[in-house]
Structure 1
Amino acid sequence: MLRCSLILLLPLLLVTYVVLNACVIKATEEELANYHYVVYGSDLCPECVKFKKELKAALLDFEYRPLENETYQHQLLAIAQVLGLNETPTIPFIIIMTSDLDNLVALGTVLSLHDLEVLIDQYAKENRPIFRTIRGQVITLSNDVERKIIAIVKGSAIPALEERPSEEIQLGRYRIIMFSVPLCHACEEAKKVFTSKDIQVEEYDISKPRNLDIFYTIKRIINSPSLEEVPLSIMFAEDKLIAIIDGKVESSVLDLILSESEHKGVRYYRLGELRELPHEQVELVLKALRGEYIIREHPNVGYLVALALSDSINPCTFLVYTAFLILLNLRYGKGWKVLGSGLSFILGIIVGYMSLGIAMYHAIVFIPKVIVVMIGVGFGLYSIVTGALEKPKLIAPKRSFRLLYRALGIIAAFGIGLMISFSLLPCSAGPYLVAIKTLASLSLQEALPYLILYNVIFVVPLFLILISAYVGLSVARARELVAKYYRHLSIIAGALLIMLSIMLIL
């Protein structure tokens, strides 16, 4: 009775959750629709382009003001002056007004609809127009400031360029789009160099898929010798691309670029190399920044298959798996229960390995390619050395797997496979890590088919062993053969991994 009640209750709870969630989303959308939005941004700013698409998708009443237009530049600088800022606001910068455009609600830098919701919630708490700084500080605006900002936004009080202080003009002249990663020392040093020259820096974290796509695309367009190295700094003067600094930023080089900012071409600098970029490359870089041109280099399938094969013949996997099948034979003999539990075990390994692969995919961007190669070579050497020096011990199922023996079943087999997929990682992670590094330039959706292919190849030998056991071949004999050729398999797998790892940087 209790079980039936739970079965009926779970769908009801699920439906309730979906309905409530839909109501919350609808209420949020209706609340956002009560306002008018003025967005200052640039078509060269990936976050601006992304945010504009979100506003369009949400069908909100907004006006986009690109800073490529000089009038909008003056408006944003004037707003910064009214707010008492010492620097140009980071874009996308939004002004939220009532639908009749007569009252100011809030303003600040936003990156998503969620930021809009937070800003409006803060306005509701203060019951006054607010400005949220880039550091998250909320400032309540006076009536005088509100009136001035509304006048600027409406275009009735735009300061003429010649009336503006010269240092304020200079303040907004240069800006940097810098692709970086968190905790990057070189990126922090580059930012210090730029800010010491009063240059605004907009950082784009390449651990985010969209930014990573743009980063790799620009690296390929400019023929960078190092696709992995950060920072990558794109420099603009009054929204005109003037230079690209690839890697370490030196103060002397920046001074040279600034002194020649009136130069018509676009300079490329890297480690003492200073050259001019062809017009075609410049146009492609600008398109990449706008998200209109993305290069995704898909991995070589043959290379990926070879890595999966080097992983699949890893003898430590065979030893554990054949031990598990011996347990099945001891418990059930032969038949469908052996097949079902064996398939469940393999599925557990696939799910575990896929989960690990997805986690490694998100982390791999922080690991330079040369480090991945070193790890792969290290795993390969370890496999060769252990294969040459060690003789594996056959596991006695009744002693070592006594607990598992009692719990055998389809569900338990899945759990065991899942657990073993994690425990095997120390002896089989090398090929997987190298394979995932080849997928780093792809989105997760694009990388998933390759991960699935890798895992299918990885478990093919396990399927073969299972089928052999099902048709009546001796699993114990298979295990003895694996143990007999353990050294050979280890050496072959290790040598193959070393070769494939080195190929990653060739």
Structure 2
Amino acid sequence: MNHKPSLWLQLAIFTLIILIAFHVSSLASQPQWEFCDGYTYYIYGEIACPACQGTKKMLTKMCGEEHIVFKEFTANETYMEEYQKLYDLLELGDVYQIPLVVVFKDNTPIIVCVGNYDVETWKEIFQIQKDMEGLVIVDAKGQVKVGMQEELVAKVKEIVLGTAEPTVEKISLGEAFPVVIGAALADSVNPCTFSVFTALLLIAMARGRKIASTGLAFIFAIYAMYFAMGFGLIKIFYYIGLIKYIVAALALVFGSLSILSGLRGFKSPIPMKFREIIESRIEKAVNPFSAAITGVTVSVTLLPCTGGPYLIATAILAKLSSFLEALLLLVIYNLIFVAPLFLILLAIATLSTATRKIKEWRTKKLGLMEVISGILLIAISLYMLFFL
């Protein structure tokens, strides 16, 4: 029982970190220098480029997200073409480098800069532009030149602004919320997930007085692993377009298969080898630490079975405009996912509920839960097609 306070303390600390992150984000969005009103910063680069992210973070901190347009190469091939045209037109270097930042003031380009510079260097560049009143060009070697020709300025403007709208799909928090919550509910009643519940029950039956600490360690490990895997899936789905139709198709397919499986009598699709691994780990869960290891193992081996709703949710989260909003919904999703685990643990630990009865109820209702999960997924598909 000595482990219980420390686990709750970890959850409290994690929640506090999330709240602090939101607070810091709101402070960071407030303009902190004079080059904001009337200014727009177009950043050409890649999301995986540290220098590009550094430049975006710095400029966002100084002016706010509404003044930043990040032209991600992998999201739109047109951006790559624009970048190459600018590089060749302005003779920015022999080797292509990123980020490339084009600064507009009142719809006119005033600065083109290659590289990741700090705030003080940017102030110097703005001062040069103010003194020279032309198009300031900072090439890949850091050399500064000024273009005074109106034709050059017009050509840069045409390249940057005279293109089609970005193909990157963005979804608002209000649009994403019902999809993510629906997927979480479908996942929480998924019979595959109840294999996790069975593992918890077996641990509880075998550990006697260590039910609370061992069970909490097991649940916390599952939560942490699913959160980490969800974080990775969000990064992957960021690069995939037409996400609305992909999500709708996934939800329709997984939902239909779930309903058919439930009506025919649910049979676990988990490979026998994976089941053997799970059972082996459960037998070794004699304390909170080993129960946590079991939770990690179970999370990985069950993902192919429980992954349908999670793929749908993380695909939607990847298209939210704010990463912090995506992170918050990922936290909520996984809390819903593990909520039945907490309820079962509470029933066993405080109400002395017979584990045999819980297991019998679970076995009888597997088909029904599979049908419910499928209905929720199909509802998500219809919502995506007709309301988004």
Q: Same fold (TM over 0.5)?
A: yes
Partners of 2:60 and 2:198 lie apart in 1 by: 57
Query: Which residue matches 1:309?
Result: 185
Query: Which residue matches 1:92?
Result: 101
Structure 1 counterpart of 2:255, which letter? G
- Counterparts in 2 of 1:424 and 1:57: CA distance versus 1, 3 Å: closer
Cα pair 1:318 1:479 within 8 Å, conserved: no
As a proportion of its length, which structure holds more helix? 2
Q: 1:385-404 maps to which residues of 2 (within 5 A)?
A: 385-392=260-267, 401-404=279-282
Q: 1:232-247 maps to which residues of 2 (within 5 A)?
A: 234-235=161-162, 245-246=164-165
Partners of 1:504 and 1:347 lie apart in 2 by: 32
Cα pair 2:183 2:309 within 8 Å, conserved: yes
Bigger radius of gyration, 1 or 2?
A: 1
- Counterparts in 2 of 1:490 and 1:402: CA distance versus 1, 3 Å: same
Q: 1:445 deviation in Å?
A: 1.9
Tell whether 2:232 aligns with 1:359: yes
Q: 1:54-65 maps to which residues of 2 (within 5 A)?
A: 54=58
TM-score, normalised by the number of residues in structure 2: 0.59
Q: 1:321 deviation in Å?
A: 2.0
* Deviation string, structure 1 residues 384-416 (Cα, Å, up to 9, x no partner): 222233444799x99972453134310111121
Query: Which residue matches 2:24?
Result: none
Structure scoring higher RCO (CA < 8 A, sep ≥ 6) equals 2
Partners of 2:212 and 2:355 lie apart in 1 by: 13
Which stretch of structure 1 is more off in the superposition, 362-371 or 344-353?
Answer: 362-371
Tell whether 2:317 aligns with 1:442: no
Tell whether 2:170 aligns with 1:174: no
Secondary structure of the 1:366 match is coil
Secondary structure of the 2:348 match is helix
Alpha-carbon RMSD: 4.2
As a proportion of its length, which structure holds more strand? 1
* Deviation string, structure 1 residues 344-363 (Cα, Å, up to 9, x no partner): 11111111111122112222
- Counterparts in 2 of 1:170 and 1:429: CA distance versus 1, 3 Å: same
Secondary structure of the 1:245 match is coil
Structure 2 counterpart of 1:312, which letter? S
Q: 1:338 deviation in Å?
A: 1.1
Secondary structure of the 2:39 match is coil
Cα pair 2:252 2:377 within 8 Å, conserved: yes
- Counterparts in 2 of 1:327 and 1:422: CA distance versus 1, 3 Å: same
* Deviation string, structure 1 residues 158-202 (Cα, Å, up to 9, x no partner): 86x5xxxxxxx65553347xxxxxxxxxxxxxxxxxxxxxx746x
- Counterparts in 2 of 1:93 and 1:451: CA distance versus 1, 3 Å: closer
Structure 1 counterpart of 2:201, which letter? L
Q: 1:63-78 maps to which residues of 2 (within 5 A)?
A: none
Partners of 1:442 and 1:329 lie apart in 2 by: 46
Secondary structure of the 1:424 match is helix
- Counterparts in 2 of 1:493 and 1:56: CA distance versus 1, 3 Å: closer
Q: 1:381-460 maps to which residues of 2 (within 5 A)?
A: 381-392=256-267, 401-439=279-317, 440-460=319-339
Cα pair 1:319 1:483 within 8 Å, conserved: no
Secondary structure of the 2:116 match is coil
Q: 1:56 deviation in Å?
A: 12
Partners of 1:379 and 1:295 lie apart in 2 by: 22
Partners of 1:442 and 1:420 lie apart in 2 by: 33
Q: 1:377 deviation in Å?
A: 1.7
* Deviation string, structure 1 residues 295-342 (Cα, Å, up to 9, x no partner): 954446455433221111111111332233224313x23x3x011111
Q: 1:111-190 maps to which residues of 2 (within 5 A)?
A: 111-113=116-118, 161=149, 170=151, 172-175=153-156
Partners of 2:306 and 2:380 lie apart in 1 by: 14
Cα pair 1:308 1:458 within 8 Å, conserved: yes
Query: Which residue matches 1:47?
Result: 43
- Counterparts in 2 of 1:399 and 1:359: CA distance versus 1, 3 Å: closer
- Counterparts in 2 of 1:485 and 1:499: CA distance versus 1, 3 Å: same
Partners of 2:138 and 2:151 lie apart in 1 by: 24
Counterpart of 1:340 (choices 213, 236, 239) is 213
Tell whether 2:341 aligns with 1:462: yes
Partners of 2:218 and 2:60 lie apart in 1 by: 47
| Structure 2 alignment gaps of length 5 or more | 1-34, 45-51, 63-86, 93-99, 104-111, 122-136
Secondary structure of the 2:43 match is helix
Secondary structure of the 1:46 match is strand
Partners of 1:474 and 1:385 lie apart in 2 by: 32
Structure 2 counterpart of 1:111, which letter? N
Partners of 2:171 and 2:184 lie apart in 1 by: 26
Secondary structure of the 2:164 match is strand
Query: Which residue matches 1:34?
Result: none
| Structure 1 alignment gaps of length 5 or more | 1-38, 59-84, 95-106, 117-130, 140-145, 162-168, 177-198, 202-233, 236-243, 249-293
TM-score, normalised by the number of residues in structure 1: 0.46
Partners of 1:365 and 1:56 lie apart in 2 by: 20
Cα pair 1:323 1:479 within 8 Å, conserved: no
Cα pair 1:89 1:109 within 8 Å, conserved: no
Structure 2 counterpart of 1:428, which letter? T
- Counterparts in 2 of 1:348 and 1:504: CA distance versus 1, 3 Å: same
Cα pair 2:248 2:382 within 8 Å, conserved: yes
Secondary structure of the 1:441 match is coil
Cα pair 2:278 2:294 within 8 Å, conserved: no
